[in-house]
Each structure stands twice: as structure tokens, then as C-alpha cells.
Amino acid sequence: MSILVINAGSSSVKFGLFRFDDLQPVARGLLDWAGNSRQATITLQPTEGDAICVHRDVHDYRGGVIAALEMLSQGNLVGLNTPIRVVGHRLIHGGEEIRGPVWIDEAMKRTIARFAHLAPLHIPAGLEAIAATEAALGGVPLIGLFDTAFFADIPPCAYLYPVPYQWYEDWGIRRYGFHGTSHAYCTQRAAEMLDRSVKELKLVICHLGQGGSATAVCGGVAITNTMGFTPLEGFMMGSRSGTIDPGILIHVQRERGLTVDQLDHILHNESGLLGISGVSSDFRQVEAAAASGHRRAQLALDVYVYRVRAMVGALAVTLGGLDALVFSGGIGENSAWLRAEVCKGIECLGAHLDPRHNAQCQPDADVAAHDSPARILVIHTREDLMIARQCRRMMEES
């Protein structure tokens, strides 16, 4: 028997298949539209054996997920023969109501849908993936795990905004925090790498990918996260603005006539690395353009680094010290340049980078200098494994 993990994003869906008894990976998969909403590329990579890649014409997001699930369930295509016992879905926003893993039924789907306006790039995709799972694997139990759950213990001084308190009481406006599944995994993995109890560690964890956030973790508990009421706050991201002066929004509405819908689209889809560089929302492409002399691409990278460094410093002060700085996510794990630039400004926190180790590292690795008081860790995040663990626990306890 196996556990299937589904991580549904706005433009791609990741799959992970794990053995139920020991949580060893059986296969991984990727469904990618690559800018073409009518044709999906489905790639399946068994742990043992050759990968298979097919192109399928699909009518919509749900149809693409169904096609991928049908390939997974037809194990003979990739040498698999592992009936799926439970499916775990990574979901973004559970509000204050959902603080842990949940069984997904009709009532829970309605609850999830209520948060769609807070994570418009992710919640609708997650619900479509759930519907596809029900269609393709009818009768298999579904479990949802929420990125906001890791931040259930953030104190009021960190989660409240300085706006009328009734906004929180009546409308639920507060900081929630995101990427919690990744931050939770990195917390555990950092303790393993440092051979220390998680209870005694002060960590700043940077999950840097197409979306990005940092979390301050003290004693295994999240103190705050740079994202807020929605995943739009915090770091500058691929196409999202991150934190900006709210007065800008009032100004462009009043003086330039932008509508709410236009602002929403611009802040989510036309800002960040893409907005400043004019090149791409993909960090790798912006980095390559900067290396070839593209001025605005370099400017976009400079702004990105500045904001990461500034927020890392703020979180370290919130913790009252730093035992380790963690880099994770596609950018954090793969860009040695980014790690070096961020670390140039944080020696005052006791974190000193070893340039040679940083340039040569493969996750999981410690790239701090040997005499650095604080360690600098590069960790390959395993959100899928965290979800598989939770699914097995719930099935065993049910």
C-alpha cells in the first residue's frame, strides 16, 4: 500500500508516492502546463527505473490532474504496483479554524473554499486537485494539510495588524503565515544536522522559491512568518510584490484610476522579479540576464537580496539571537550567489559564510565557516515527506 501526496500550484502539480509501512519514496511526478493551458506535460520518475514523460491534451486544470492520476494508478506504465491507501493534499490557507491535518469531506471543501480570496493562486488549484482525486481515485480517503497550521502559536503581538481591532474580531484580518509545511520540515532537519534538540534552537528559515517567506523558530515553535493575511506580504517574489507601502495602492487608485481587480492582478502577476527586471519571474533567467549585463535584471536581484537580508535581520532580533540560518526552496537551495549576497550583511549576527563550501554545496549541507558561532544550512525541503508522515499517523489513529 502507498500514500500519495499532491502539491497543487497555480501552474504545476507535484506528486509523491510513498510506501505506507516505511515512508520510502516509490515515485515522484510533475504535471506542468508550461504556459499552455490546453496541453500538459506529465513526468513520472520511479525511485527505481526510467522516467516516463507524456504530453496530454487537456480541457482544464482538473482534467490535467485526472490524466496524471490515471497514469500513476496504472502502475505498469512505470513499473509500479502499489495500491493507494490515502491521499494527502497540501493546502495553503486554513484560517484560524484549521490548526492541524483534517479529513476532507464536503463540509471541509466548503470551509477551504471560503479562503480562496486570500490565496487566489493556490486555493482554487487545491480544490480542483481534490475534485480530480475524487474522480480518479473514488473511495480513497483524502487528508488536507495546511501551510498556516505551523503558525498556530504565533503570539497576538506578532499576528495583529495596527488597524481597528474590530477588523480582526469581525473579519479575521490578522497575520497567518505560509510555507508552514516546508518550515516545519526544515526545523526538524536543522536539529538533526546540528545534532541538537529542536527545543534549544533559535532558527531563521528562508524558503525561497517562486514564492518566498522566512520564519523565526524558537524551541521548535514558529514565532512569526514574513507572509501575512495573504501570501502577498513579505519578501519580493517571482511575480508578487511582497511588502509595499499601502499608500501606494490608495494613490494609484485615486490618481491613476486603477481598479481593485487591476491592482490585484498587478500585485500577484506583474510585480516582483518580473516587474522590476522586465525579463522573467524565474530567478534563474533573471540571474542569467544580469550576468550578461542586463541592468534592470541586476537591479531586480539587488532589491531581492536587500529585502531578504533586512527581514532575516529583523527575525533574528525577534528571536534574541541566532543558532542557524537556513536556506531552502528552489532559489535558496540552488543559488550560491544569492546565499553569498544575503550573508554579506549578517556577520553581525554571528553567521559567517565559507565561500568555498557555499559554491560547491549540495543540499543538505552546512556552508558556514568552521569558526562561525551561528551555522548556515542549505536544506532540501521535503514537504511531501512531512505530509506523508501526517497521513500515515492519521490513518493509524483512525
Answer yes or no: is 270 within a domain.
yes
Place of cell 487537456: 58
For the segment 43-54, the average pLDDT, to the nearest whole number, is: 87
Quick one: which of 326, 314, 316 has its CA closest to 376? 326
**Is there a single domain that holds both residue 122 and residue 231?**
no
**Is there a single domain that holds both residue 148 and residue 185?**
no
Which residues are CB-contacts of 123 (< 8 A; sequence separation ≥ 6)?
91, 92, 93, 112, 113, 115, 116
pLDDT at 152 over 80: yes
Q: Which three cell numbers stand for residue 183?
A: 518550515
Answer yes or no: are the C-beta atoms of 259 and 147 closer than 8 Å.
no
Q: Which three cell numbers stand for residue 147?
A: 501551510
CA 397/CA 386 separation, integer angstroms: 17
**Is there a single domain that holds both residue 76 and residue 191?**
no
For the segment 369-374, the average pLDDT, to the nearest whole number, is: 98
Expressed as residue numbers, the domain containing 103 is 2-152
**Is there a single domain that holds both residue 64 and residue 201?**
no
pLDDT of residue 50: 85
Answer yes or no: is 385 within a domain.
no
Answer yes or no: is 161 within a domain.
no
pLDDT at 164 over 90: yes
pLDDT of residue 119: 82
Answer yes or no: is 45 within a domain.
yes
Answer yes or no: is 211 within a domain.
yes
Quick one: which of 140, 136, 137, 110 has its CA closest to 123? 110
Give the pairing type, strands 142-146 and 52-57.
unpaired
pLDDT at 296 over 70: yes
pLDDT at 357 over 90: yes
pLDDT of residue 36: 54
Place of cell 523558530: 217
Q: Count the domains in the chain.
A: 2
CA 362/CA 351 separation, integer angstroms: 19
Helix axes 336-343, 295-319, angle to 10 degrees: 60
What percentage of the chain exceeds 90 in pLDDT? Answer: 79
CA 4/CA 86 separation, integer angstroms: 6
In whole angstroms, how far apart are CA 325 and each of 44, 178, 207, 328? 33, 18, 11, 10
Quick one: which of 91, 86, 85 has its CA closest to 145? 91
Place of cell 562561525: 372
**Is there a single domain that holds both residue 279 and residue 367?**
yes
pTM above 0.85, yes or no: yes
Per-residue pLDDT tens over the stretch 166-204: 999 999 999 999 999 999 999 999 999 999 999 999 999
Catalytic residues: 147
Answer yes or no: is 122 within a domain.
yes
**Is there a single domain that holds both residue 225 and residue 140?**
no
**Is there a single domain that holds both residue 229 and residue 118?**
no
Q: Which three cell numbers stand for residue 116?
A: 480562496
DSSP structural state of residue 380: -
**Is there a single domain that holds both residue 231 and residue 324?**
yes
Answer yes or no: is 398 within a domain.
no
CATH code: domain of residue 95: 3.30.420.40
Per-residue pLDDT tens over the stretch 68-105: 888 877 655 544 667 899 999 999 888 888 888 999 99
Q: What confidence tier does 60 reach under pLDDT thresholds 50, 70, 90?
A: confident
**Is there a single domain that holds both residue 115 and residue 207?**
no
DSSP 191-210: HHHHTS-GGG-EEEEEEESS
pLDDT at 337 over 60: yes
Phi-psi region of 220 (alpha: psi -120 to 50; beta: other; left: phi over 0): left
Answer yes or no: is 391 within a domain.
no
DSSP 335-373: -HHHHHHHHTT-GGGTB-B-HHHHHH--SSEE-B-TT-S
**Is there a single domain that holds both residue 185 and residue 51?**
no
The secondary structure of the chain in percent helix, strand, coil, rounded to multiples of 5, reads 45, 20, 35
Answer yes or no: are the C-beta atoms of 18 and 26 closer than 8 Å.
yes
Rounded to 5°, the CA angle 278-283-289 comes to 55
Q: Which three cell numbers stand for residue 327?
A: 536556506
For the chain, what is the mean pLDDT? 93
| Neighbour tally for 293: CB within 10 Å | 8
pLDDT of residue 305: 98
**Is there a single domain that holds both residue 192 and residue 138?**
no
Residue type at position 127: L
**Is there a single domain that holds both residue 341 and residue 192?**
yes
pLDDT of residue 75: 57
| Neighbour tally for 381: CB within 10 Å | 26
